Amino acid sequence: MDISRQIAALKAQPGFTEKVGMVLVHNGVVRATSRASGARVAGIEARVDQSKIQAICEEYTAKPGIFKVLAKAESGSYRPGDDLLFIVVAGDFRENVLAVMSQMLDKIKKDAIVKKEIREEGEGGVAG
């Protein structure tokens, strides 16, 4: 996802200037260490349920004060430093935007993405 391009497209939508006071971006990146154990990670395998991500976007776009939400993640193999998940939330006030970003991020990670760590020593595990 090209964040600059997505934000420019949002700004071009009718009603943006009247309804949006904040655009918040999340760029989830693969870490080189396991969240659970601190072990070195060579990469991850991610499985993404696109229909769930779409449903979550629709659910959170309907929240009070929210103009639009976007999310992008792809199934595949990723190495440390690779972008894994992008979320953009545009809305009226920071209280609404911050709450939706936090809730949406948790829901996507819980319900729409499954990650398996590939450890440097060749062991795999489910990532958090």
Higher pLDDT, 111 or 121: 111
The predicted structure's pLDDT at residue 121: 64
Q: 74 lies in a domain?
A: yes
In a domain, 126, yes or no: no
Q: Measure the CA–CA gap between 59 and 41, rounded to whole angstroms.
A: 34
Supply the range of the domain harboring residue 53.
Answer: 3-121
Structural domain includes residue 9: yes
Checking if the pLDDT of 126 tops 60, the result is no
Contact by Cβ (8 Å): 79, 13: no
Q: Which residues contact 1 (CB under 8 A, 6 or more apart)?
A: 70, 72, 86
The pLDDT, as a whole number, for residue 122 is: 47
| Residue 128, in any domain of the structure | no
| Residue at 81 is within a domain | yes
For residue 127, tell me if it sits in a domain: no
Q: DSSP for 60-120?
A: HHTSTTEEEEEEEE--EEE-TT-EEEEEEEEESSHHHHHHHHHHHHHHHHHHTEEEEEEET
Q: What is the pairing mode between strands 124-126 and 113-119?
A: antiparallel
Instruction: Write out the H or E segment, with its range, that includes residue 6.
Output: helix 3-12
Using one digit for the tens of pLDDT, what is the confidence trace for 43-97? Answer: 999 999 999 999 999 999 999 999 999 999 999 999 999 999 999 999 999 999 9
CATH number, domain at 85? 3.90.1170.40
Q: How many domains does the chain have?
A: 1
How far does Cα 126 stand from its chain's mean position? 18
Residue 2 DSSP code: -
Q: Which residues pair with 29 in a beta bridge?
A: 83
Task: Provide the whole-model pTM.
Answer: 0.88
